[in-house]
Amino acid sequence: MSHSRILITWLWFVGGAILLAFLALVVLLPDNMAASSARGGSIQLPSGIPVRIRIPAIRVDATVLPLGLAADGAMAVPSGPLETAWYDLGPKPGNTGAAVIAGHFGWKDNIPAVFDNLTALQPGDKILVENDKGETLTFVVRELRTFDGNGNAASVFSSTDGKAHLNLITCEGVWDKNSKSYSKRLVVFTDAI
């Protein structure tokens, strides 16, 4: 066999091995990327239903209930002061899009509520969400924004950047006895890490 024929055979063999290795990576890489890529990426994580939220900076450790819409078409809220509600008509925390968790502020009779100190969060603070599959997802605070109580807060429920976000929402401002609601809404925008 000539040297050129041996070289060509060897190149075909090496090229085939490289192609097989590349194909194996293509098949296996999504699982590896989901486990090791930044959770803010566009890859869907195998996440379950959120069951607990922890915010160490403000000492929150609370149950998360899956809730959708109230009878009036607004996002449903938890019935008690110490629970939170995940908007289950949107993405799960850790999946692409804007997952939303709501909690109360300023409960009646001065009873402490889960998000009483949400306004104390700072960019860079971490939020941990545990789901029913035992996964703990970490989010970092990007910004806090206040919305008028009757204003358009559509940006809280949507995201178009292809990344995973978690937005926390609560009331703030002045209590209105007639509407039985606060005048403003505080939203903490976070990004998955």
The whole-number pLDDT of residue 181 equals 81
Say if 162 falls within a structural domain.
yes
Say if 19 falls within a structural domain.
yes
Contacts of 186 (CB under 8 A, 6+ apart): 105, 115, 118, 119, 144, 145, 146, 147, 169, 170, 171, 172
Q: Are residues 71 and 139 both part of a single domain?
A: yes
Q: Are residues 183 and 137 both part of a single domain?
A: yes
Q: Are residues 66 and 144 both part of a single domain?
A: yes
Say if 42 falls within a structural domain.
no
The CATH number linked to 147 is 2.40.260.10
Q: What share of the chain is helix, strand, coil (3-state, %, to 5)?
A: 25, 35, 40
Whole-number percent of the chain with pLDDT over 90 = 51
- Residue 177 pLDDT greater than 90, yes or no: no
pTM: 0.74
Contacts of 151 (CB under 8 A, 6+ apart): 185
- Residue 28 pLDDT greater than 80, yes or no: no
Q: Are residues 12 and 79 both part of a single domain?
A: no
Helix (H) and strand (E) counts in the chain: 1, 8
Q: Are residues 81 and 128 both part of a single domain?
A: yes
Give the whole-angstrom CA distance, residue 53 versus residue 154: 23
Q: Are residues 132 and 159 both part of a single domain?
A: yes
Q: Are residues 67 and 101 both part of a single domain?
A: yes
pLDDT confidence bin for 18, thresholds 50/70/90: very low
Q: Are residues 7 and 84 both part of a single domain?
A: no
Give the residue numbers spanning the domain of 10.
1-36
Nearest alpha-carbon partner for 166 in 147, 191, 149: 191
Q: Are residues 149 and 122 both part of a single domain?
A: yes
The domain total for the chain is 2
pLDDT confidence bin for 90, thresholds 50/70/90: very high
Q: Are residues 27 and 71 both part of a single domain?
A: no
Q: Are residues 11 and 97 both part of a single domain?
A: no
What's the per-residue H, E or C state across 175-193?
EECCCCEEEEEEEEEEEEC
The whole-number pLDDT of residue 1 equals 54
- Note the pLDDT tens digit of each residue in 101-149: 999 998 888 899 999 999 999 999 999 999 999 999 999 999 999 888 7
